Amino acid sequence: MNILVINCGSSSLKYQLINSDSEEVLAKGLCERIGIEGSQITYQPAGGKKEITVSPMPTHTQAIKLVLDALTDEKKGVIKSLAEVGAVGHRVVHGGEKFTASTRITDEAIAAIEECNELAPLHNPANLIGIRACQELMPETPMVAVFDTAFHQTMPEEAFLYGLPYEYYEKYKVRRYGFHGTSHSFVSKRAAEVAGKAYEDLKIIVCHLGNGASVSAVKNGKSIDTSMGLTPLEGLIMGTRSGDMDPAIMEYIAKKENLDIAGVMNVLNKKSGVLGLSGVSSDFRDIEEAADAGNERAIKALKAYNYRVAKYIGAYVAAMNGVDVIAFTAGLGENGNTTRKGICEYLTYLGIAINEEANNVRGKDIVISTPDSKVQVMVIPTNEELAIARETLALV
Ligand code: AMP
């Protein structure tokens, strides 16, 4: 079956058409600047070249229509008609406590997703727009919602409760949810396969280090803790997000800089992290280049980043009373060999030793620890689209 995977943002939409039998990507691409002047669609069939077309996309429905037109185009298309799309899998950011797993999209499911909008006001409404647009254009095609939060719904109360008045949890659902669940699930399962051991018998720490970044503790096949919280702002120092900090800083900075809450949130989400620390960029390639050239703030940013990841790994070793496998994934986790090395230098107390040669390999599942390392350290490229396609197939 061919499964269309849709990841819909407020002004952009990523898509992949995946054959679920071979797990091959038949075509993929991106619509950008939806609803804004200068919208364009990128389309790339398997083995073919990437094509960018400027085309007006006043709405998401129009964007999805362009995607479907490209997929079924006589010349560059990869399918003859929409009848060849067996199902659509939608990425949905927040499933709150309502969704502990992926779900078939029905009117009730849509209403329940809507109820989670408040928890992710930037993401969920956009995800719903994508769902509705697909329903309009493919009313007969079964659809599935795959949630970023669902995998972490196994977290025990002691891990998800904040030290706040309990009624905020009862009344407003203020608790830790965690994100990147599709990736943490995919990578931890794959890590168990690479280790050649049963998923249910392992203690795995997954470090998803991308522009957004989170660490998770997966014990016996279940997420028992993760570094992101009510929103994706908590936890690690990220590209532009602060991660953990003393909440009193908010009032202090608001007074000093004459900012309101929205202004402070903007700083914490968009101007902090390694961008704010280094003053160079949110992209680690730029920061590493600056650090190599002797830029002191870039060096400080990289050190603070590695330290925070190592601290979380230590916390999760404590939470699971041990660790068998540590897996790195996402843009930086997969490509940043110096970052991985820098983090693992804090972990010699766990008996971890890194094989430098393996650590320099790119683009595949690989064990980067030495054979006598007490904990296996791996790089496992994540594939959220494939994970969404698999979930979708399972439910249709
Ligand atoms: P993601 O959000 O998973 O796409 O990850 C994007 C981030 O990965 C970028 O902002 C970079 O900081 C990082 N990244 C990607 N490629 C490399 C690389 N070759 N070396 C270091 N960092 C990289």
Task: Dump the DSSP string for 285-312.
Answer: HHHHHHHHTT-HHHHHHHHHHHHHHHHH
pLDDT band at residue 153 using 50, 70 and 90 as cut-offs:
very high
- Please work out whether the CB of residue 154 comes within 6 Å of at least one atom of ligand 1: no
Do 82 and 226 have their domain in common? no
**Ligand 1 mutation target, pool 237, 283, 341, most atoms within 8 A of CB:** 283
289 lines ligand 1 (CB under 6 A): no
In whole angstroms, give the CA distance from residue 277 to residue 40: 33
Q: Is residue 169 part of a domain?
A: no
Identify whether the C-beta of residue 173 lies closer than 8 Å to the C-beta of residue 162: no
Amino acid at 331: G
Ligand 1: which of 187, 284, 292, 384 to mutate, judged by most atoms within 8 Å of the beta carbon? 284
Distance 377 CA to ligand 1 centre (A): 19
The tally of CA atoms less than 13 A away on the side-chain side of residue 202 is 24
Quick one: pLDDT at residue 10?
85
Q: Are residues 217 and 336 in the same domain?
A: yes
Q: Which domain-ending residue is among 147, 169, 187?
A: 147
- State the total domains in the chain: 2
Does the C-beta of 210 come closer than 6 Å to ligand 1?
Answer: yes
Which of 88, 122, 147 corresponds to the end of one domain?
A: 147
Q: Distance (Å, rounded) from C-alpha 200 to C-alpha 86?
A: 32
Same domain, 342 and 254: yes
Integer Cα distance of 18 and 97 in angstroms: 29
**Beta carbon of 273 within 6 Å of any ligand 1 atom:** no
Nearest CA to ligand 1 atom 9: 283
Residues assigned a catalytic role = 148
Domain with 267, as residue range(s), is 198-379
CB 206 within 8 A of CB 191: yes
In the predicted structure, residue 372 carries a pLDDT above the cut 90: yes
Distances (CA, A) of 136 to 57, 61, 133, 392: 16, 8, 5, 19
pLDDT for the residue 71: 97
Which tokens in the block code for residue 333?
């986790």
Do 211 and 64 share a structural domain?
A: no
- The answer to whether residues 8 and 72 belong to one domain is yes
Whether 333 is in the pocket of ligand 1, judged by its Cβ within 6 Å, is no
**Residue 179 included in any domain:** no
Q: Last residue of some domain: 104, 125, 147?
A: 147
Task: Kindly state the DSSP code that residue 358 receives in the 8-state scheme.
Answer: H
Note whether residue 274 is domain-resident. Answer: yes
Residue 71 covered by a domain: yes
Task: Estimate to the nearest angstrom the gap between the alpha carbon of 68 and the chain centroid.
Answer: 25
- Residue 155 is assigned to a structural domain of this protein: no
Tell me if 336 CB under 6 Å of ligand 1.
yes
- In the chain, the percentage of residues whose pLDDT exceeds 90 is 97
pLDDT at 121 (0 to 100): 86
Cα 334 to averaged position of ligand 1 atoms, centre (Å): 8
Element (H, E) at 262: helix 261-270
pLDDT digits (tens, 9 = 90+) for 66-94: 999 999 999 999 999 999 999 999 999 99
Report the pLDDT value the prediction gives residue 166, as an integer from 0 to 100: 98
Note the pLDDT of residue 122. Answer: 82
First to last CA, the chain: 10
| 230 and 371 together in one domain | yes
In a domain, 177, yes or no: no
Q: Are residues 122 and 206 in the same domain?
A: no
Residues near 139 by Cβ (< 8 Å), separated by ≥ 6?
none
| CB of 330 shorter than 6 A to ligand 1 | yes
Q: How far apart are CA 188 and CA 352, in angstroms?
A: 19
**HEC letters along 223-253:** EEEECCCCCCCCCCCCCCCCCCCCCHHHHHH
Ligand 1 centroid–CA 99 distance in Å is: 30
Residue 209 and residue 65 share a domain: no
Atom 23 (ligand 1) nearest CA: 332
Average pLDDT over residues 88-105: 97
- Whether the Cβ atoms of residue 288 and residue 281 lie closer than 8 Å to each other: no
Backbone angles phi, psi at 290, to 5 degrees: -65, -40
Ligand 1 lined by 286 (C-beta under 6 Å): no
> Which residue has a Cα nearest atom 8 of ligand 1?
331
- pLDDT at residue 43 is higher than 90: yes
CA of 82 to the centre of ligand 1 (A): 35
**Which residues, in sequence order, are CB contacts of 285 under 8 Å at separation 6+?**
none
Per-residue pLDDT reduced to its tens digit, 228-275: 999 999 999 999 999 999 999 999 999 999 999 999 999 999 999 999
Q: Which of 14, 206, 285 to mutate to test the pocket of ligand 1 (most atoms within 8 A of CB)?
A: 285
Whether residue 319 is contained in a domain is answered as yes
> Residues 368, 378: contact at Cβ < 8 Å?
yes
pLDDT tens-place string over residues 111-150: 999 999 999 888 899 999 999 999 999 999 999 999 999 9
Question: Are residues 122 and 219 both part of a single domain?
Answer: no
What residues contact 278, with CB distance under 8 A and at least 6 apart?
A: 287, 290, 295, 297, 298, 300, 301, 302
Strands 143-147 and 103-104: antiparallel
User: Distances in Å between the alpha carbon of 41 and those of 27, 130, 161, 389?
Assistant: 13, 15, 42, 22
Pocket test for ligand 1, best of 332, 380, 382, 384 (most atoms within 8 A of CB): 332
The pLDDT score that the predictor gives to residue 75 is 94
Instruction: Kindly give the distance from the C-alpha atom of residue 276 to the centroid of ligand 1, in angstroms, as a whole number.
Output: 17
pTM, two decimals, is 0.95
Same domain, 363 and 240: yes
**Ligand 1 in contact with 29 (CB < 6 A)?**
no
Q: For the residues 309-334, what does the mean pLDDT come to?
A: 98
CATH number for the domain that contains residue 34: 3.30.420.40
**305 in a domain, yes or no?**
yes
Same domain, 141 and 274: no
Q: How far is the CA of 239 from the centre of ligand 1 (A)?
A: 9
Question: For ligand 1, atom 19, which residue shows the shortest CA distance?
Answer: 335
Contacts of 13 (CB under 8 A, 6+ apart): 6, 7, 30, 31, 34, 60, 63, 64, 67, 130
Q: 15 CB less than 6 Å from ligand 1?
A: no
Ligand 1 atom, smallest distance to 362 CA: 19
- The DSSP 8-state label assigned to residue 284 in this structure reads H
Q: Measure the CA–CA gap between 207 and 380, rounded to whole angstroms.
A: 10
Q: Say whether both 126 and 226 belong to one domain.
A: no
Map tokens 């029905």 to a residue: 106
